[in-house]
């Protein structure tokens, strides 16, 4: 390279270096001015919350006309959830203070507003508060005061003012033995004697008398006679008897009395006691209770009393022994025959093993009643055009994935149920099961 070319390269390098220095100086001054202005800025700092863009812009327009300025900063999801939960607590406490007359009532328990590995905070809504206030009576039963109220009710049902204890003579006991030996249509005097002996203080005599009355109820004339003589309040009281054998005898007798249409008009108290006994831990007592409720539900007179207990009945299908499972299914089939109870049946928490039971290997009696129940629910839902967002009653509705509606029509479930129903309708040996399975398939595919 000659001397002339070296001079050209040096000149160009100097020119480029000069332009670079001028540009650097210019940008440095501009950045310095911006930092200086930012340090002197006085304004209002807010954190923008989700779905509040319009509100932020309105506040910006208002504050721009004043001396201050508005700066929006992002906010984390955890901070947003924490604040909403705190607001929900304040709202719930305020509503409870307004609606609760008893200042000593126990406050409902809230989950922590912090996220944990086991749960996330739950935002309370006005509907939640309304449901909490309406369920105070149930919460009180778990407290010492609630147990006292329950004990008071038991005393009221079995107290001397309603079911006085009686004494029996040797002649009364002999007449009882005569009736036991030959069950027949009774006269008024004999019916009155049996009800008197049913109130006897000895549990063995009471049990024997109730069994005798139940056998006599095989005659329609005796059913009406016992009602007129005041048997139903005695049965309601003995359902809460401390002796399980007396409870079973009372439930079996009530089951026979429920077969009479006129008797059912007077069985509200008895039905309420039976429904309250669904949570008993004695399987023998529970079997008698469910069997009685099956007969009560043959007519739709007291179906509305069953709706708060539908989730319990569904749980028997999943978890109970076969004998209790059968009675629970029979009861649910009876309730599903009434269009009024269909929304509540679809809103309750359904059994989780429906697909497991819809197999040819399932016991035929259980499978028939299960398929009949599902066919009745799906057919009624289609006929009534049930909308799960609007038509399921909030009082009985559980979380959406757990409802019976989701167990039947949920994403991915409906098609699998339809396939199983089609297989049963085609290959099962029982004609009744094939008929109900085909009915179920048509309702799901329609």
Q: What is the pLDDT of residue 35?
A: 57
Q: What is the pLDDT of residue 400?
A: 83
What does the pLDDT average to over 18-33? 73
Q: What is the pLDDT of residue 176?
A: 87
What is the C-alpha to C-alpha distance for residues 117 and 110, in angstroms, rounded to an integer? 17
Percent of the chain predicted with pLDDT > 70: 70
Q: Looking at mean pLDDT, say which of 31-35, 177-181, 183-187, 430-434 comes out highest.
A: 430-434
What does the pLDDT average to over 258-275? 94
Residue 326 pLDDT > 50: yes
DSSP letters spanning 162-215: TS--B---HHHHHHHHHHHHS-----HHHHHHHHHHHTBS-HHHHHHHHHHHHH
Beta-ladder partners of 45: 71
Whether 246 and 206 have beta carbons less than 8 Å apart is answered as yes
DSSP-derived letter for residue 45 is E
What is the C-alpha to C-alpha distance for residues 88 and 40, in angstroms, rounded to an integer? 39
Beta-ladder partners of 70: 44
What is the C-alpha to C-alpha distance for residues 292 and 285, in angstroms, rounded to an integer? 11
Whether 292 and 251 have beta carbons less than 8 Å apart is answered as yes
Res. 396 pLDDT band, cuts 50 70 90? confident
Residue 270 pLDDT > 80: yes
List the one residue out of 203, 269, 197, 204 whose CA is nearest residue 226.
197
Q: For domain 148-303, give its CATH number from 1.25.10.10, 3.20.20.80, 2.60.40.10, 1.10.565.10.
A: 1.25.10.10
Q: Which residue has the higher pLDDT, 209 or 17?
A: 209
DSSP letters spanning 357-388: H-STTS-HHHHHHHHHHHHHHHHHHHHHT--T
Q: Which residue has the higher pLDDT, 348 or 59?
A: 348
Distances (CA, A) of 77 to 46, 70, 74, 372: 15, 22, 10, 48
Structure confidence by residue, pLDDT tens digits, 30-88: 776 665 555 554 444 444 444 443 334 444 444 444 444 545 455 666 676 777 777 76
Domain boundaries of the chain, sorted by first residue: 148-303, 306-446
State both tokens at 91: 């709202």
Beta-ladder partners of 349: 403
Res. 121 pLDDT band, cuts 50 70 90? very low
**Tokens 């396939």 map to which residue?**
419
Q: What is the pLDDT of residue 31?
A: 73
Residue 207 pLDDT > 70: yes
Q: Lowest mean pLDDT: which of 10-24, 66-80, 225-239?
A: 66-80
Same fold, 148-303 and 306-446: yes
Res. 333 pLDDT band, cuts 50 70 90? very high
Q: What is the pLDDT of residue 115?
A: 41
List the one residue out of 326, 335, 362 whose CA is nearest residue 437.
362
What does the pLDDT average to over 198-206? 90
Residue 244 pLDDT > 90: yes
What is the C-alpha to C-alpha distance for residues 436 and 268, in angstroms, rounded to an integer? 33
DSSP letters spanning 44-100: EEEEEPTT-HHHHHHHHHHHHTSSS-EEEEE--HHHHHHHHHHHHHHHHHHHHHHH-
Q: From the CB of residue 362, how many other CB atoms can be counted at a distance below 10 Å?
A: 16
What does the pLDDT average to over 381-388? 94
Q: For domain 306-446, give its CATH number from 1.25.10.10, 2.60.40.790, 3.40.50.150, 1.10.10.10.
A: 1.25.10.10
Phi, psi of 282, deg, nearest 5: -90, 115
Structure confidence by residue, pLDDT tens digits, 167-178: 668 888 888 888
Whether 166 and 198 have beta carbons less than 8 Å apart is answered as no
């Amino acid at each position: 390279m000659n001397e002339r070319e070296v001079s050209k390269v040096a000149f160009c390098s100097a020119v480029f270096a000069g332009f670079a220095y001028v540009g650097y100086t210019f940008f440095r001054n501009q950045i310095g001015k911006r930092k200086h202005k930012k340090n002197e800025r006085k304004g209002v700092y807010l954190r923008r919350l989700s779905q509040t863009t319009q509100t932020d812009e309105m506040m910006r327009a208002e504050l721009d006309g004043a001396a201050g300025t508005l700066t929006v900063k992002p906010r984390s999801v955890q901070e947003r959830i924490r604040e909403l939960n705190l607001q929900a607590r304040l709202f719930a406490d305020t509503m409870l203070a307004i609606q609760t007359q008893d200042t000593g009532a126990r406050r409902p328990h809230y989950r922590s507003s912090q996220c944990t590995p086991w749960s996330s905070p739950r935002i309370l809504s006005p509907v939640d508060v309304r449901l909490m206030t309406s369920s105070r009576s149930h919460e009180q039963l778990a407290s010492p005061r609630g147990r006292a109220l329950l004990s008071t009710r038991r005393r009221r049902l079995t107290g001397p003012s309603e079911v006085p204890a009686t004494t029996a003579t040797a002649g009364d006991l002999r007449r009882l033995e005569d009736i036991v030996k030959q069950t027949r249509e009774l006269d008024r005097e004999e019916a009155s004697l049996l009800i008197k002996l049913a109130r006897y203080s000895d549990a063995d005599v009471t049990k024997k008398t109730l069994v005798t009355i139940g056998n006599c109820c095989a005659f329609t004339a005796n059913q009406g006679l016992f009602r007129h003589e005041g048997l139903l309040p005695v049965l309601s009281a003995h359902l809460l008897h401390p002796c399980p054998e007396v409870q079973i005898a009372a439930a079996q007798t009530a089951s026979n009395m429920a077969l009479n249409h006129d008797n059912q008009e007077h069985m509200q108290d008895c039905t309420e006691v039976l429904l309250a006994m669904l949570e008993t831990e004695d399987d023998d007592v529970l079997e008698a209770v469910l069997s009685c409720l099956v007969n009560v539900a043959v007519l739709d007179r007291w179906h509305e009393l069953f709706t708060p207990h539908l989730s319990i009945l569904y749980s028997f299908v999943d978890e109970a022994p076969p004998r209790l499972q059968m009675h629970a299914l029979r009861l649910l089939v009876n309730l599903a025959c009434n269009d009024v109870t269909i929304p509540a049946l679809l809103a309750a928490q359904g059994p989780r093993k429906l697909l497991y039971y819809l197999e040819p290997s399932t016991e035929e009696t259980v499978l028939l009643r299960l398929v009949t129940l599902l066919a009745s629910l799906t057919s009624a839902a289609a006929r009534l055009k049930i909308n799960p967002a609007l038509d399921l009653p909030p009082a009985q509705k559980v979380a959406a994935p757990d409802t019976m509606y989701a167990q039947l029509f949920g994403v991915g479930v409906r098609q699998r149920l339809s396939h199983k129903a089609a297989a049963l309708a085609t290959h099962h040996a029982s004609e009744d099961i094939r008929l109900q399975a085909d009915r179920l398939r048509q309702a799901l595919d329609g």
